[in-house]
């Protein structure tokens, strides 16, 4: 482990890597501060930029974006009562009342430091838990990998969207798209339509950018209303001084946030809003002054913000150790890892431990940069909120285009990106979700190749898939969770069936 950290340190402590992490963090902060723009979108937009970079620098940049977006959602939440990201909803409960009392700088200072503590604590938990999980996964053969892929697909499909059936359909659409191209075993062309660009399959980059960035821009375009402009915050902030001592005084709230985020993070699809709401609720429950919550009480902000950033480290555990992401942003990050030539999973820890520990350290540094950039540039990020929407949308679209085209100069990929953008728009609009599509695209080939390899080695016998203990355990848990989700949906439908409810 120590040699891994030393190797990783050598990779991280290079000027280009440090600049990449800082740049990613800055973009993540800007994107997270803008309501409606997501951390998944920030990562998708940065993917093309990371192509020429060494793996640790590229992944560090993406982690910086994830970390920055996780923290900066608190800016509009505190100043305007508008959560920048879904996980910042709970920040408005005490952040905005504190700002209304004339203490906006204090609220931001607490939020920044709590995010930092949450992020650092989750990095420690990540570095302690991910290696043993990956070591355990070294026992996996084709049967286990097939079952693990099915498990990942089923879990994300059942929890990512509003409807189990629609989530499953979205996952299968992704899986189906992943079969496009030359079949790796028989050499048969599948749905290639004599298009050279499709012979090697659908490129992951246009799919990621289309599904997570273009679809979001199309949604914003549909909803664009020039009369709905954000009003400038009336709160005066000279500098959001980091409140280390005051945050540490509320160490119980920090701990509650870290525990909530670290437990909720690895659960596929659970998401930041659940972690922060759990942290807020538990902190209030154990507080001696629960009546103060909702009135601008510091522990309310501290617990929520530490949970938001602790969640990221937790979500990275299954992503790096098993190759199964927890939600949309880590699904895009997984795509980024694969584009970088890094295949997440147990072999990554065995073969490239230096890179893995470099990624851990890059995540730690991303938290440090987040703290510095948020403290120094807070006034600038408040101005970002006022950027006219139509200019922003046009700029994001141009960035998407250049990013996709710049990688291999193939115009076909631009049409592919547009197609995925339109598909993603409708999938989101009709509650299918886009995260399961990406999971299907990434896990589909793993599931197919391992099933077919397994069947070849077992001479066409399917029984090992259902008799090997780890393989069958994954399948049983997946089926059990599917049944549980169906039962919960049935129960909620029985209790009330409002029109437009998609919970089936």
Partner 1 sequence: MTQRDIGKPLFNVVLIIVSASVFVAASAFPDVNIPGDLSAAFFPKFLSGLIFILAIPCLIKDFQEWRKGGQAVSSSSISLVRGASQWLFVILLLIAYVYAFERLGYMISTALFTFSCVVGLTVLSGTWGTLSTAVKSKALAGALVFSVVLAVTIFYVFTDLFKIPLPT
Shortest Cβ distance from residue 352 to partner 1 (Å)? Answer: 24
Closest by CA to 394, choosing from 212, 273, 220, 266, is 220
455 forms part of the interface with partner 1 (CB under 8 A): yes
How far is CA 228 from each of CA 48, 222, 232, 237, 425, rounded to the nearest angstrom? 33, 13, 12, 24, 22
C-alpha–C-alpha distance, residues 490 and 504, integer Å: 7
Q: Kindly tell me which of 289 and 391 has the beta carbon lying closer to partner 1.
A: 391
C-alpha–C-alpha distance, residues 96 and 233, integer Å: 11
Rg for the chain, CA atoms, rounded: 22
Q: 444 near 179, Cβ under 8 Å?
A: yes
> Which window, 49-57, 275-283, 327-335, 350-358, contacts partner 1 (CB under 8 A)?
49-57
Shortest Cβ distance from residue 370 to partner 1 (Å)? Answer: 22
Among 263, 375, 397, 486, binds partner 1 (CB under 8 A): 397
Shortest Cβ distance from residue 503 to partner 1 (Å)? Answer: 10
117 forms part of the interface with partner 1 (CB under 8 A): no
218-237 mask for partner 1 (x: CB under 8 A)? x--xxxxxx-----------
Among 2, 236, 238, 459, binds partner 1 (CB under 8 A): 459
Shortest Cβ distance from residue 483 to partner 1 (Å)? Answer: 16
Q: Kindly tell me which of 130 and 417 has the beta carbon lying closer to partner 1.
A: 417
135-164 mask for partner 1 (x: CB under 8 A)? ----------------------------x-
Q: 55 near 342, Cβ under 8 Å?
A: yes
Contacts of 469 (CB under 8 A, 6+ apart): none
C-alpha–C-alpha distance, residues 23 and 202, integer Å: 29
**Any idea how long the chain is?**
504
18 forms part of the interface with partner 1 (CB under 8 A): no
Q: Kindly tell me which of 183 and 195 has the beta carbon lying closer to partner 1.
A: 183
C-alpha–C-alpha distance, residues 67 and 47, integer Å: 15
167-206 mask for partner 1 (x: CB under 8 A)? -xx--xx-xx--x---x-xxxx-xx---------------
Shortest Cβ distance from residue 429 to partner 1 (Å)? Answer: 7
Helices (H), 138-243: 142-160, 164-178, 204-209, 215-223
Contacts of 478 (CB under 8 A, 6+ apart): 147, 150, 151, 154, 155
C-alpha–C-alpha distance, residues 375 and 259, integer Å: 25
**Axis crossing angle, helix 15-33 with helix 2-12, rounded to the nearest 10:** 80
286 forms part of the interface with partner 1 (CB under 8 A): no
411 forms part of the interface with partner 1 (CB under 8 A): yes
C-alpha–C-alpha distance, residues 128 and 116, integer Å: 19
422 forms part of the interface with partner 1 (CB under 8 A): yes
Among 263, 375, 414, 486, binds partner 1 (CB under 8 A): 414
Closest by CA to 46, choosing from 445, 403, 339, is 403
C-alpha–C-alpha distance, residues 263 and 384, integer Å: 33
Q: What angle do CA 316, 319, 325 make, to 5 degrees?
A: 105
Q: Kindly tell me which of 368 and 393 has the beta carbon lying closer to partner 1.
A: 393
Among 350, 458, 464, 472, binds partner 1 (CB under 8 A): 458
Q: Kindly tell me which of 246 and 502 has the beta carbon lying closer to partner 1.
A: 502
31 forms part of the interface with partner 1 (CB under 8 A): no
> Which window, 59-67, 135-143, 281-289, 449-457, contacts partner 1 (CB under 8 A)?
449-457
> Which window, 57-65, 229-237, 329-337, 389-397, contacts partner 1 (CB under 8 A)?
389-397
Closest by CA to 310, choosing from 278, 332, 356, 338, is 278
Contacts with partner 1, residue ranges (CB under 8 A): 48-49, 51-52, 163, 165-166, 168-169, 172-173, 175-176, 179, 183, 185-188, 190-191, 217-218, 221-226, 390-391, 393-395, 397-399, 401-402, 405-407, 409, 411, 414-415, 418, 422, 426, 429-430, 444, 448, 451-452, 455-460, 499-500, 504
């Amino acid at each position: 482990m120590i040699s891994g950290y030393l190797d990783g340190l050598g990779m991280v402590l290079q000027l280009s890597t440090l600049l990449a992490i800082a740049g990613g963090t800055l973009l993540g902060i800007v994107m997270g501060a803008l309501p409606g723009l997501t951390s998944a979108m920030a990562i998708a937009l940065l993917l093309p930029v990371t192509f020429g970079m060494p793996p640790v620098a590229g992944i560090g940049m993406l982690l910086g974006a994830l970390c920055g977006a996780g923290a900066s959602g608190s800016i509009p939440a505190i100043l305007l009562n508008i959560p920048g990201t879904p996980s910042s909803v709970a920040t408005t409960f005490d952040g905005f009342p504190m700002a209304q009392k004339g203490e906006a700088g204090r609220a931001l200072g607490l939020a920044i430091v709590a995010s930092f503590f949450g992020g650092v604590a989750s990095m420690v938990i990540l570095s302690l838990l991910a290696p043993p999980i990956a070591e355990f996964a070294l026992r996996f053969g084709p049967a286990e990998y097939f079952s693990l892929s099915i498990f990942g697909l089923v879990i994300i499909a059942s929890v990512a969207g509003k409807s189990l059936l629609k989530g499953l359909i979205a996952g299968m659409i992704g899986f189906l798209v992943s079969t496009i191209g030359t079949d790796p075993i028989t050499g048969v062309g599948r749905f290639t339509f004599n298009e050279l660009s499709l012979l090697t399959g659908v490129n992951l980059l246009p799919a990621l950018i289309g599904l997570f960035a273009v679809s979001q821009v199309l949604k914003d375009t549909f909803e664009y209303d020039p009369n709905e402009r954000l009003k400038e915050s009336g709160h005066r902030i000279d500098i959001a001084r980091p409140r280390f001592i005051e945050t540490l005084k509320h160490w119980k709230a920090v701990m509650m946030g870290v525990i909530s985020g670290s437990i909720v993070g690895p659960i596929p699809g659970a998401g930041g809003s659940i972690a922060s709401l759990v942290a807020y609720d538990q902190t209030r429950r154990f507080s001696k002054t629960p009546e103060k919550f909702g009135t601008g009480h510091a522990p309310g902000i501290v617990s929520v913000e530490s949970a938001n950033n602790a969640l990221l480290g937790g979500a990275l555990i299954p992503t790096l150790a098993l190759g199964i992401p927890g939600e949309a942003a880590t699904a895009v990050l997984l795509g980024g890892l694969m584009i970088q030539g890094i295949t997440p999973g147990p072999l990554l820890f065995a073969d490239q431990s230096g890179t893995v520990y470099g990624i851990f350290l890059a995540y730690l540094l991303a938290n440090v940069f987040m703290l510095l950039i948020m403290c120094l540039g807070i006034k600038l990020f408040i101005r970002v909120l006022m950027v006219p929407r139509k200019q922003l949308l046009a700029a994001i679209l141009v960035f998407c285009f250049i990013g996709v085209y710049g990688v291999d100069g193939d115009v076909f990929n631009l049409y592919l990106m547009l197609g995925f953008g339109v598909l993603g728009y409708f999938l989101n609009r009709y509650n299918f979700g886009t995260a399961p599509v990406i999971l299907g695209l990434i896990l589909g080939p793993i599931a197919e190749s391992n099933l077919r390899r397994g069947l070849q080695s077992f001479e066409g016998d399917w029984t090992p898939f259902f008799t090997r203990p780890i393989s069958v355990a994954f399948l049983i848990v997946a089926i059990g969770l599917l049944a549980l989700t169906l039962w919960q949906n049935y129960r909620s439908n029985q209790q009330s069936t409002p029109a437009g409810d998609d919970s089936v």
